[in-house]
Amino acid sequence: MELFIMLGIPGIWQIGIIAVIILLLFGGKKVPELMKGLGSGIKEFKKGISEDDKEDSKESSKESSKEDKK
């Protein structure tokens, strides 16, 4: 238990309090919309990261093939 406090990781009670505050601020109908937006944002971020990695690997393979031809 003390390890979680030292690392700054929220416990069950802290997560519950945050959830209640979010419900009070946004209401029960708005929370699912917010979570949907958050999920789609994370999905787009991961998609962008993977596309960037693919472009980097294509560029590096083109550069290595050019070096092999020399």
Report the number of distinct structural domains present in the chain.
Answer: 1
Residue 1 CA to residue 13 CA, distance in Å, equals 12
| Mean pLDDT confidence for 38-66 | 79
More confident residue, 35 or 7: 35
- What domain range includes position 7? 2-69
Between 53 and 45, residue with greater pLDDT:
45
pTM: 0.51
Give the span between the Cα atoms of 4 and 8, in whole angstroms: 6
Furthest-apart CA atoms within the chain: distance in Å: 66
C-beta of residue 23 within 8 angstroms of C-beta of residue 31: yes
pLDDT digits 0-9 by tens, 17-51: 998 998 888 888 888 888 899 999 999 999 988 88
